[in-house]
Structure 1
Amino acid sequence: MFRPVCLCTSRIHSSAALLKKAPLKLKGRSGAEQRWLVRQLSDPFVKAAQTQNYRCRSAFKLREIDDQYRLLSPGLSVIDCGAAPGAWSQVAVQRVNSAGERPDVPRGSVIGIDLLYIAPLEGAHFLCNQDITHPATHAELQRLLPQAYADVILSDMAPNASGLRELDHERLVSMCLSLLELADRVLRPGGSLVCKYWDGALAHKLRDGLARVFRDVKTVKPKASRKDSSELYFLARTFRRT
């Protein structure tokens, strides 16, 4: 599951100032690469990720969702799908107390999975170079999870971009639909799921699939998701086994 590494910087620049102050960073890059770099360097969430020691700006998406809907609490077990580079796992570790930093509340667990390598994180167990859709991965999760069940499944995973919007949308919806099989294997009744998708013609198919096994399904777009992006999240709560 592809994850672009978030670019953090110690200062925030306007686009014009960046072009003057960092010409060597832009020299030789394509126009699209230059625009991406300028956007990253002027992004307040990139700066905040650096100052708060998050691995990527995406941490603030999960923080906002959880602040509003209270999915994560001490003692819960969480699966983070497409976890690299680990920012969502960092948030989950803090909120379910899986590192045991708060001895006065229950200690949860966080398991992250990705096709890529994920640097170790205290309080999280990472299954690197593993496919979330593979039965062997499901079996390993059942072995690692307390009582073989999770309370929350998180997914910020995405396919490698092909440059074809409809194809990428279709591939991401397919990846998200695979989470329903995972939920059937390891999600506790009453549990919750959060998954990223890109808006498009097949979004209804994903919503319908979630609605068949979750009592409540809604669409959310955190402030940390860029306004010009088609990125959205489905929040599905109260899992019902079929």
Structure 2
Amino acid sequence: MWKRIQRSFIHMSAVSLKKTPLHMKGKSAADQRWLVRQLSDPFVKAAHAQNYRCRSAFKLIEIDDKYRLLKPGSSVVDCGAAPGAWSQVAVQRVNSAGESVDLPKGSVIGIDILRISPLDGAQLLSNHDITEPSTHMALERLLPGARADVILSDMAPNASGLRELDHERLVTMCLSVLDLADKVLRPGGSLICKYWDGALAHKLQQRLSSMFQDVKTVKPRASRKESAELFFLARMFRIR
């Protein structure tokens, strides 16, 4: 897969040198930098080519290719699911749309405070806050046996521009995902959550280590090198 993405990048980069596909006039310098980065990003191109809703799909694909968390028949909760790229990957891998008749059919539930466009094979809780008891109750109704095998979180707060504040807010969001895991994750289950590196990362890791037997940090290739974005991968959940 990665060689395909690289070949696509080389071809599209050659095209972009010949012409400017987006009109930059009137855009701020920051907007122009963002557009140039998007145009040269092989994962953005690959997401369009493979009909994923955004490039972040490839972060989950790489992690799951290596660690095999999403198995046919598994139940998955995707926190902060909008626009739905991680849910798309989960639907494919746990067979929740039932496309592979010879494999067990899984379950994918996406949650976000924003609206999530409908996705075949996923049950979506748009305009739901994962910290609210009503959301927990809805999850327990939808999950087979009221338990999930895997919890995913690619959530992030709207950036304030203040790195430490944004880091603190994201860690708080991750801790709310762990509170959810306490309620709905099956013993032996797994969790992936995004965080930004900073002073509170150790606190988050300690909490994870108290809940899971195995905790490690991963940075997939689809995470930009200049980004402070990292992911905790936690496996073998134990009820305390």
Unaligned runs of 5+ residues in structure 2 are 1-10
Structure 1 residues 93-242: aligned runs within 5 Å:
93-242=91-240
The list of structure 1 runs, each at least 4 consecutive aligned residues, that deviate by more than 2 angstroms after superposition, is 11-18
Contact 1:14–1:42 under 8 Å retained in 2: no
TM-score (norm 1): 0.92
Q: 1:12 maps to what in 2?
A: 12
Identity %: 74
Contact 1:199–1:232 under 8 Å retained in 2: yes
Q: Which amino acid aligns with 1:182?
A: L
Deviation sequence 1:8-39 (CA, Å, 0-9, x none) = xxx83479838x524x6211111111111100
C-alpha separation between the residues in 1 aligned to 2:182 and 2:236?
13
Structure number with higher relative contact order (C-alpha < 8 Å, ≥ 6 residues apart): 1
Q: 2:79 maps to what in 1?
A: 81
SS in 2 for 1:121: coil
Unaligned runs of 5+ residues in structure 1 are 1-10
C-alpha separation between the residues in 1 aligned to 2:210 and 2:134?
25
Q: How many residue pairs end up in the alignment? A: 231
Residues 239, 210 of structure 1: CA spacing in aligned structure 2 closer, same or farther, 3 A cutoff?
A: same
C-alpha separation between the residues in 2 aligned to 1:138 and 1:16?
47
TM-score (norm 2): 0.93
1:61 and 2:59 are equivalent in the alignment: yes
Contact 1:54–1:87 under 8 Å retained in 2: yes
Q: Which amino acid aligns with 1:67?
A: D
C-alpha separation between the residues in 2 aligned to 1:233 and 1:136?
27
